Structure 1
Amino acid sequence: MWNRRKDGRVYLESVSVVLEHVVDPDDAARLTQRLLATIALSTDIGVTRVRVTASIGISLFPDHGLTHRELFLRAEMAMHAVKEPGNNRLGFHPVMAA
């Protein structure tokens, strides 16, 4: 769902991407960095320069959950954790730090 902030910026609350056959956290991080770089490319729409940023949370099966519900919940937790210091970042569910 698209939302508009009081300062005029438009944002999308969340989008989910499911990648199959990615089991290595380094591979997931590399793919996500490429996604962030692509999203961050600015473009012109009419006379307006548009820049998009994203905060991405990552969870991996089976380390962070066995069901889609558990995996999405943990990815969302990771996303909210990386949003705090600023946008355009990625992070794994905290279990990865253990």
Structure 2
Amino acid sequence: MESVLTGKQKRFLRSLGSTMDPVVQIGKAGVVETVVDSARDVLAARELIKVRVLQNSPAEPGTAIAELAEAVQAELVQVIGRNGLLFKPNPEKSKIELP
């Protein structure tokens, strides 16, 4: 998916995400349908979520988070270690105002 966020917008989202706790975890099953559904639901409610890839995940953290981002059609903001930040604006009720 082609990135539609500017550098400034990504910086803004990273600053918001720095204090967040991971709400979706990718475990030993990898990116399965239940993880995708869970991420989709939380993204609809929050727009910006932190995803954690557990130690027992079969895929590399960057790969697993990118795969999840593509599955839910979200923007991959960043990956640091085993954590990633996903953003998907909600067209009906937008919570996050991008700069």
TM-score normalised over the length of structure 2: 0.33
Higher relative contact order by CA 8 Å / sep ≥ 6: 1 or 2?
Answer: 2
Query: Highest Rg: 1 or 2?
Result: 1
TM-score, normalised via structure 1 length: 0.33
